[in-house]
Structure 1
Amino acid sequence: MSEHRLFRFPKPQWLNNANSRTAGVYIAGALFSLGFYFFIDACAFSKSKRNGSEIHITFIDWIPGICSALGMLVINSIDKTRLSADSFSYSGNGVAWKAKAVLFFGFALMAGGLAGSVSVMVLKYVIHEYPLQTLWFGIANVIANGLIMLSSVVLWIVQNMEDEYTYNLAL
């Protein structure tokens, strides 16, 4: 085993092609849209007459989803090669620490979105012991932010897959 490897088991070779990358992008998009579907569905149900309560989804419920979506945008805008830039590449302008700081900011936005959705669910719905029909508004918010976070992870992995032909085409 090589000394430079991080993990003990090698990555499967079938993951290193264009088709798996494309499928991963589609899966990430499906997770993202499914997450917002849960939340939009809860919003529509909140305003319907079948809700049966005076509690509705307000802008406070939207803030965690907005933070998670912005965090996903920030995280997936960073090129993985910028994170390991040394003083010889990119003219030593400190690109690596800037990229890491922006990446940290993106992860903080996503973690804040997920923690915010849990906080909103607990403070707005669980403490007041609303029935499950109303509690669903908070649960849908947590599910939406979790799926947005999962889609960001999937997209980050598939965007930064290395293909042996990529280097040949770039030359």
Structure 2
Amino acid sequence: MSLPRHNYDPRRVCINPFPNISLGKHRRTVGIYLAGGLFALANWTFLDAAILSAHAHPPFDDPQLPPPVHVTFVDWIPGICSLLGMIIVNLIDKDRVRGEDGMGDAAAVWRARLVLFIGFALMAGGLAGSVTVLILKYIIHHYQEQYTYYGYANVSQNVALMLSAIVLWISQSSGGEYEYSLSI
């Protein structure tokens, strides 16, 4: 498939441009609040699991046995990777990644895209790590549902952090509320 010559831009990396989502007058504000809500939900979910793990009681049928599993530092690592990836992704100047607005230096555009890739790779690695921890630590050992919740909370934290980063990226890429288009 080839693009018509009038739509061709040699600076473009992908055939499809960045999404242009219109949510009305306050689209940027709505996106930023939605991303913040997802971020809060992500961390709240995992902190809930960590607090439940710290205050876990032995099973009622045998009070001499301690709880079989707790949230440890291994459970925190995927969330830390996703959080670092989210910070890296949202620190990048969007115009630099596109190569627009006089930032046509090919090396700067390449570096910005590399850093963006590293940020998304950290988030994907965090998600993959949380799924791995869920399977290897919680599912294989067939723990009760109250203990497998710790692993599910870890995975949901990483999914929500990734969605939060994507929503924030898209909302910050859209035009601002106070932009004016003047033409003579």
- Which bin holds the TM-score, normalised by the shorter protein? 0.7 to 0.9
TM-score (norm 1): 0.84
How many angstroms apart in 1 are the aligned matches of 2:47 and 2:176? 38
How many angstroms apart in 2 are the aligned matches of 1:94 and 1:156? 22
| Corresponding residue for residue 125 of structure 1 | 138
How many angstroms apart in 1 are the aligned matches of 2:92 and 2:34? 20
Q: CA deviation at 1:76?
A: 0.7
| Corresponding residue for residue 33 of structure 2 | 26
Aligned-residue identity in percent: 47
| Corresponding residue for residue 64 of structure 2 | none
- Equivalent pairs counted in the alignment come to 163
TM-score (norm 2): 0.79
Is 1:42–2:49 an aligned residue pair? yes
Closer, same or farther: CA 160–85 of 1 in aligned 2, 3 Å:
same
Q: CA deviation at 1:91?
A: 6.5
Q: Which amino acid aligns with 1:95?
A: A
Closer, same or farther: CA 158–91 of 1 in aligned 2, 3 Å:
closer
How many angstroms apart in 2 are the aligned matches of 1:33 and 1:12? 24
Runs of 4+ in structure 1 over 6 Å off:
none
The structure with the largest helix share of the pair is 1
How many angstroms apart in 1 are the aligned matches of 2:163 and 2:37? 11
Listed as ranges, the gaps of 5+ residues in structure 1 are none
| Corresponding residue for residue 81 of structure 1 | 95
Is 1:57–2:57 an aligned residue pair? no
Listed as ranges, the gaps of 5+ residues in structure 2 are 9-14, 60-66
| Corresponding residue for residue 98 of structure 1 | 111
Q: Which amino acid aligns with 2:83?
A: A
How many angstroms apart in 1 are the aligned matches of 2:142 and 2:73? 21
Q: Which moved more, 1:65-74 or 1:91-100?
A: 91-100
Q: CA deviation at 1:20?
A: 1.7
Is 1:69–2:72 an aligned residue pair? no
How many angstroms apart in 2 are the aligned matches of 1:164 and 1:57? 43
How many angstroms apart in 2 are the aligned matches of 1:138 and 1:51? 19
Structure of higher CA gyration radius: 2
C-alpha RMSD of the superposition: 2.7
